[in-house]
Amino acid sequence: MKRGEYAKTAERRRTILATALEVFAESGFRGASIREIAARVGMTDTGVLHHFGGKSKLLLEVVKQKEDEDAGTLRDPYLRDLVARNGSRPGTVRLFTTLSAESTDPDHPAHEHFVDRYASVRKLVAERLRGETSAGRLPSTIDPDLAARLVIAVMDGLQIQWLLDPSMEMETAYNDFIDHYFAVTTAPGDQGKVNPGVGQPEDIFPGI
């Protein structure tokens, strides 16, 4: 294949992936169709399948591409950076919200992927929170494993509310939860430090 043909093929794949993201976000996996994706791209069903082999493979390719783009935004142990990034891309948030709900069905093609994805993110967040505790930046009363689950749950829940009501200040709400639950401050130069003026998590959220 000549260089120009490679470039054309790569561009066509990018176009298909971008369009598939829109269709999967709008309709979910089961409601989406290769026919709809092909029509929006201006190709035949066969043409789309030639590049990706099937709807399941196309779905996983879309998910993988977006997760690769997010790899550099998982450095903050509190996931503030990821929430800030998501605030500028409702299409991607809608895609993951729809698919993560659908994939609770064991027969869904992305079921194992999302099970593994949530497990790996929980593990990463918990490990980094342990590091924060060891460094004296978090109260020792916080259970890193439980906190990791709560961080992800709050992020997912706020994203759903934001999709339903875009006027909501998602990032502000998320940061407020992080500041209070972890007893940290976001003052310039002090992010991640224990805030002695904020009560312990069990005082703010009784029962935790």
Q: Which DSSP string corresponds to 56-102?
A: HHHHHHHHHHHHHHHGGG--STT-HHHHHHHTT-HHHHHHHHHHHHH
pLDDT given for residue 196 in this prediction? 39
pLDDT given for residue 65 in this prediction? 85
pLDDT given for residue 183 in this prediction? 83
**Structure confidence at residue 4 as a pLDDT band (50, 70, 90):** low
Tens digit of each residue's pLDDT (9 = 90 or more) over 42-100: 999 998 988 888 898 898 888 888 888 777 666 788 999 999 999 999 988 998 999 89
- Tell me if 17 sits within 8 A of 62, measured CB to CB: yes
Q: Hey, what domains does the chain have and what are their CATH numbers? A: 1-63 (1.10.10.60), 74-208 (no CATH)
Torsion of CA 106, 110, 113, 117, to 10 degrees: -100
pLDDT given for residue 2 in this prediction? 58
Average of per-residue pLDDT values in the chain: 84
Burial class (CB in 10 A: 0-12, 13-18, 19+), 41: middle
**Structure confidence at residue 38 as a pLDDT band (50, 70, 90):** very high
Tens digit of each residue's pLDDT (9 = 90 or more) over 183-200: 864 444 444 444 433 334
pLDDT given for residue 53 in this prediction? 84
Please say whether the dihedral angle defined by the alpha carbons of residues 58, 60, 63 and 64, taken in this order, is positive or negative.
Answer: negative
Burial class (CB in 10 A: 0-12, 13-18, 19+), 46: exposed
Tens digit of each residue's pLDDT (9 = 90 or more) over 84-141: 999 999 988 998 999 899 999 999 999 999 999 999 999 999 999 999 999 999 989 9
Whole-prediction pTM value? 0.74
Backbone angles phi, psi at 184, to 5 degrees: -120, 165
- Give the SS3 label for residue 132: helix
